[in-house]
C-alpha cells in the first residue's frame, strides 16, 4: 500500500499535467512552448535538489526509529529497576534526546517540502502569466476580426492554467513518496547483500543421517578470533571428550569458555586447527547439517511470536502426549493449565513468561531434539538453586548416553560432571575429574571453588 498508492498517483497526476500543458498551449499559442524550455530546466534542477535532500532525510528518519535509538519499550519494561536505582531523570533525558532526533528529521522534511512548493508556485506563475498574455493578444486579434474561434479556446486554456501548479506539485510529491518509501527496501537489501556464513566450496562431506552416534569431540590446536584485526580468543586449545561424557567448562571472565560454543556451532570460522565430532571435521559440512544435529540450551532464551507448540516443536514431529510428558518432567506443568494448552500464544521473545520459565522451555526444546551432543551455555543462570537442581536431575535422566558440555555460571552445577575443563587466557589449563582438581595445591579450579565458598555461591 505504501508504494502502490503513490505509484498510481504518479500516473494519475502525470497524465493530468501532460494534458493540461497540451490544452494550455493549444488554447493560447504554440510560442508558449518556448517558455516551457527554460522552465523545464528549472523544474528538473529543483526536483534534483529536492529528491537528494528528501532521500537523506528519510534515511535519517528511518535510522531514528531503529532499535539503537528507539529503546522506549525496553525502558518501559525495566521501569521498576530504573526507579529503584533513582535513574528516572537520566533515562527521561535520553528518551527526550531520541524523540528530538526523530522530530528534527520530520521537521526538516516538512521544510524542504515548503521550499519546493514555493519555487514550483513561482515557476507556475510564469506559465500562467505567459498564458494570460497570449490570451490578451488573442483577444485583440478577435477585436480586429482576424480570429473568432481562438478566443473561446483561450478562455478554456486560462481556466486550466492555474492547475499546472497543483499537477506539477502533486506529480513530483507522489514520485518522491515512492522514492522515499523505497528507502525501506534499500535497507532490506543491505541485509540481503550480507556475506553468507560459509561458501559452498568448503563443503566436501555429507555425514550419514545417524551422525553423530557416539558424540566424541576433539579440539585440535584451535585458534579463533571474532573479527579480522582483533586478537585471538582461543590460542591453540586442544582437548578431547569421550562419547557420552559429561564435561563442565569453567574459567575466569574472558578465558574463552563461550568461545568453545562458537567453534562447535561454527558461529565464527577458525583461524587455525580443527574441531571433529565422531572423527569428522565439522568445517567440511554445511552449517544446516551441523547445527541440526546438535542441541543447545542458551544463556538468553530465544522465542518467536506464535504458539507454545510452535516454539517447542516447529516441525510438528511430536504428539501432544509427548509434549505434555516432557513439560511435566521440566517442571512446566503450570503452562499446561492455560486455557489454550499447547496453543497458548507466546509474545516476541517470550515476554509473557518469566525468565525461569523461558529457560525451562529452552531445556524442553533441546530435549525434544534428542541430539547426541548437547551444550549448556550458563543455562541455569536465571534459576534458583532448587530449580537448578531439578534441571540437573532432569538432564541426567533424559540425556542418557548423550555428550554434554556445560559452561558453568555456578560451580556447583558442574561438580557432578565426569571431568572439568578449566580455560585460562584462551588455552586449556586443566582437565580432570572435579574431585581430583579440588585437592591439587596448584589447581585453578581449586582456587575458584574456594573463592566461591567464601562468597557463598
Domain boundaries, the chain: 4-192, 210-303+358-455, 305-352
- What average pLDDT does range 174-192 have in this prediction? 74
| Beta partners for residue 375, in sequence order | 296, 405
Residue-wise pLDDT for 247-259, tens only, equals 999 888 888 888 8
CB of 54 closer than 8 Å to CB of 179 = yes
133: confidence class by pLDDT, cuts 50, 70, 90:
confident
Weakest-pLDDT range from 91-95, 191-195, 321-325: 191-195
Q: Hey, which of 193-197, 252-256, 348-352, 433-437 has the most confident mean pLDDT?
A: 433-437
178: confidence class by pLDDT, cuts 50, 70, 90:
confident
Could you give the CA distance from residue 412 to residue 387 in angstroms, rounded to a whole number?
13
pTM of this structure: 0.60
- What average pLDDT does range 211-219 have in this prediction? 90
CB of 22 closer than 8 Å to CB of 160 = no
CATH class of 4-192: mainly alpha
Residue-wise pLDDT for 57-94, tens only, equals 877 777 777 654 444 444 455 677 777 888 888 888 88
Sequence-distant (6+) residues with CB within 8 A of 118 are none
Task: Tell me which CATH code domain 210-303+358-455 carries.
Answer: 3.40.50.300
Sequence-distant (6+) residues with CB within 8 A of 445 are 250, 420, 422, 430, 434, 437, 438
Q: Which three cell numbers stand for residue 350?
A: 517470550
Q: Which three cell numbers stand for residue 126?
A: 510564469
Q: What is the DSSP letter of 196?
A: P
Q: Where are the alpha helices (DSSP H) in 193-284?
A: 257-264
- What average pLDDT does range 12-33 have in this prediction? 76
Q: Give, for 274, the enclosing helix (H) or strand (E).
A: strand 272-277
| Beta partners for residue 224, in sequence order | 234
Q: Hey, which of 69-73, 145-149, 349-353, 443-447 has the most confident mean pLDDT?
A: 443-447
In the predicted structure, residue 341 carries a pLDDT above the cut 80:
no
Weakest-pLDDT range from 379-393, 400-414, 442-456: 379-393
In the predicted structure, residue 202 carries a pLDDT above the cut 70:
no
- What average pLDDT does range 212-216 have in this prediction? 89
pLDDT of residue 75: 47
Could you give the CA distance from residue 415 to residue 434 in angstroms, rounded to a whole number?
6
Q: Where are the alpha helices (DSSP H) in 28-87?
A: 32-64, 72-77, 79-84
Could you give the CA distance from residue 426 to residue 339 in angstroms, rounded to a whole number?
49
Please state, rounded to an integer, the average pLDDT across all residues of the chain: 78
Any idea which residue has 512446566 for its cell?
332
Q: In CATH terms, are 4-192 and 210-303+358-455 the same topology?
A: no
Could you give the CA distance from residue 19 to residue 250 in angstroms, rounded to a whole number?
78
Amino acid at each position: 500500500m505504501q508504494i502502490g498508492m503513490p505509484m498510481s498517483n504518479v500516473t494519475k497526476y502525470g497524465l493530468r499535467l501532460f494534458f493540461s500543458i497540451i490544452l494550455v498551449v493549444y488554447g493560447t499559442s504554440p510560442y508558449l512552448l518556448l517558455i516551457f524550455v527554460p522552465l523545464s530546466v528549472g523544474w528538473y534542477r529543483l526536483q534534483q535538489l529536492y529528491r537528494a535532500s528528501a532521500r537523506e532525510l528519510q534515511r535519517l528518519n528511518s535510522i531514528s526509529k531503529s532499535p539503537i535509538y528507539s529503546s522506549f519499550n525496553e525502558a518501559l519494561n525495566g521501569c521498576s529497576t530504573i526507579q529503584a536505582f533513582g535513574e528516572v531523570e537520566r533515562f527521561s533525558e535520553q528518551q527526550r534526546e531520541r524523540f528530538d532526533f526523530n522530530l528534527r528529521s520530520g521537521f526538516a522534511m516538512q521544510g524542504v517540502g515548503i521550499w519546493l512548493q514555493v519555487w514550483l508556485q513561482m515557476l507556475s506563475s510564469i506559465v500562467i502569466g505567459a498564458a494570460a498574455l497570449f490570451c490578451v493578444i488573442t483577444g485583440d486579434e478577435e477585436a480586429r476580426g482576424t480570429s473568432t474561434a481562438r478566443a473561446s479556446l483561450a478562455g478554456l486554456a486560462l481556466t486550466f492554467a492555474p492547475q499546472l501548479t497543483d499537477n506539477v506539485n502533486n506529480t513530483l510529491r507522489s514520485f518522491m513518496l515512492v522514492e522515499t518509501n523505497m528507502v525501506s527496501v534499500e535497507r532490506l537489501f543491505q541485509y540481503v547483500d550480507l556475506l553468507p556464513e560459509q561458501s559452498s566450496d568448503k563443503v566436501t562431506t555429507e555425514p550419514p543421517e545417524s551422525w553423530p552416534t557416539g558424540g566424541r569431540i576433539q579440539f585440535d590446536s584451535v585458534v579463533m578470533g571474532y573479527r579480522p584485526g582483533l586478537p585471538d580468543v582461543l590460542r591453540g586449545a586442544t582437548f578431547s571428550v569421550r562419547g557420552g561424557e559429561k564435561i563442565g567448562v569453567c574459567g575466569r571472565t574472558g578465558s574463552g569458555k563461550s568461545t568453545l560454543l562458537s567453534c562447535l556451532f561454527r558461529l565464527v570460522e577458525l583461524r587455525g586447527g580443527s574441531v571433529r565430532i565422531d572423527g569428522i571435521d565439522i568445517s567440511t559440512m554445511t552449517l544446516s547439517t551441523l547445527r541440526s544435529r546438535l542441541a543447545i540450551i542458551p544463556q538468553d532464551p530465544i522465542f518467536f511470536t506464535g504458539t507454545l507448540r510452535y516454539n517447542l516443536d516447529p516441525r510438528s514431529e511430536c504428539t501432544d502426549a509427548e509434549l505434555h510428558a516432557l513439560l511435566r518432567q521440566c517442571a512446566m506443568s503450570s503452562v499446561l493449565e492455560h486455557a489454550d494448552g499447547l496453543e497458548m500464544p507466546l509474545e516476541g521473545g517470550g515476554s509473557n513468561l518469566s525468565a525461569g520459565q523461558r529457560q525451562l522451555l529452552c531445556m524442553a526444546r533441546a530435549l525434544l531434539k534428542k541430539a547426541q551432543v548437547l551444550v549448556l551455555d550458563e543455562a541455569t543462570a536465571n534459576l534458583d538453586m532448587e530449580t537448578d537442581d531439578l534441571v540437573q536431575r532432569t538432564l541426567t535422566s533424559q540425556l542418557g548416553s548423550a555428550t554434554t558440555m556445560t559452561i558453568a555460571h555456578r560451580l556447583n552445577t558442574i561438580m557432578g560432571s565426569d571431568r572439568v575443563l578449566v580455560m585460562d587466557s584462551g588455552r586449556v589449563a586443566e582437565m580432570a575429574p572435579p574431585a581430583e582438581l579440588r585437592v591439587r595445591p596448584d589447581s585453578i579450579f581449586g582456587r575458584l571453588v574456594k573463592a566461591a565458598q567464601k562468597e557463598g555461591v
